[in-house]
Structure 1
Amino acid sequence: MGAYIFARFEFRLKNALYYFFIAGMTFPVFMALVPLFFVVQNLGLGNSLPGLILVYTAYSLPFSMFFLVAFFRTLPEEVAEAAKLDGCGEARIFFRVMLPLARPGLISVGIFNFIGQWNQYLILLLLVSDDDKFVLSQGLANLAVEQGYAGDRSGLFAGLTIAMAPILIVYALLQGRIQAGMTAGALK
């Protein structure tokens, strides 16, 4: 919704707020590790799934906003105007008209965020300390470190292949939608 508002409406401080969101892409996650840990712990969300969801959402928000604002700007304004003439309010225009038109962009940004968060290791290592809450990639990395040079390399690479499989399957199933989302609005 925020991307739609930034793309379609004019209001005071619009550019300042938009650039505030986009500035989040310029900071690497390494800069915020210690403060992030203390904030999550002080909120009582340390070592929990809601804490990870909150952090991953905040981490994905700048790219999602950047991508979707550009995508909503490419959607035809005439369709929204026609819906407004038919008596639709702004919320109905968004949910009934613009959101279905933005499906390729939403799928693309969802896939990019899924891939980025699936490969995220450092935040997960920082915020999760229980062995039973580790995800597959973190468990494999911990296993490789514990085994050192005497480890079972064939088992480790089999596990890495299994960890990589969901990304490959998602991409193979949705590659047409990814390409449609990236090229939408390029040709009129």
Structure 2
Amino acid sequence: MLLGALVAYALARYEFRGNRLLYYVFVAAMFFPVFLALVPLFFVVQQLGLLGTYPGLILVYAAYAVPFTVFFLHSFFRTLPGEIAEAAFLDGCSHAAVFFRVMLPLARPGLVAVGIFNFLGLWNQYLLPLVLNPDPDRYVLAQGLAALSVSQGYRSDWGGLFAGLTIAMLPVLVAYVAFQRHIRAGMTAGAVK
């Protein structure tokens, strides 16, 4: 989220050669399905020595979430008033201080909304951990639930299956209940002038 916020802020607030092209590259990356990148991604993670590890999976998840984060926060940073940043510059703030002390706190509703969207999208991810985490001792939750349902065959351990589904659903439900006010604020910010 921090990397995506930095890129979105730079693309939204600063004019430089290739600004729009770089923004459209991030937008185009959202349309690129992960299915097409599985084989090259597998070999890249393997050559880095991170295949079957949680850091390798975290790195891929972070790279997978950056284009949506940039797309979402770009429009959010464009709606923030530029006069506040100018006042901070006049008070002697550097560009980094303006971003971290002024603009990032103002963008908190957007950050919470994009954080929730990224969390939901990556929490339910099944294909990336299946390909990049082949070790059955290091399954993530989605892989574990799939392995549980497949291992049942024609038998049914409904108690175990529903316990796993509850574990999978509970963090999403808690995150939504805890941040529902911020989600609404982030979705409607900039809609009304």
Percent identity reads: 66
User: Partner residue of 2:27?
Assistant: 22
1:67, 1:48 → 2: CA distance? 29
Structure 1 residues 64-116: Cα deviation after superposition (integer angstroms, max 9, x where no partner)? 00001011001011111111121212111111110110111111111111111
1:32, 1:153 → 2: CA distance? 36
User: Partner residue of 2:3?
Assistant: none
Aligned to 1:149, what secondary structure does the other structure show?
coil
After superposing the two structures, state which structure 1 stretch, 11-20 or 144-153, moved more: 144-153
Shift in Å, 1:154 = 3.5
Matched, 1:44 2:30: no
User: Partner residue of 2:91?
Assistant: 86
Structure 1 residues 111-159: Cα deviation after superposition (integer angstroms, max 9, x where no partner)? 1111111000000011112222112221111111121121313321231
Aligned to 1:24, what secondary structure does the other structure show?
helix
Aligned to 2:146, what secondary structure does the other structure show?
helix
User: Partner residue of 2:60?
Assistant: 55
Residues 137 and 160 of structure 1 are in contact (CA less than 8 Å); yes or no, is this contact kept in structure 2? no
Matched, 1:121 2:156: no
Structure 1 residues 34-82: Cα deviation after superposition (integer angstroms, max 9, x where no partner)? 1111111011110111111110011101100000101100101111111
Matched, 1:112 2:117: yes
TM-score by length of 1: 0.96
TM-score by length of 2: 0.94
User: Partner residue of 1:2?
Assistant: 7
1:154, 1:87 → 2: CA distance? 62
User: Partner residue of 1:138?
Assistant: 143
How many residues are matched?
188
Matched, 1:182 2:187: yes
Letter in structure 2 aligned against 1:110 = G
Give ranges in structure 1 of 5+ residues lacking alignment. none
Shift in Å, 1:4 = 0.3
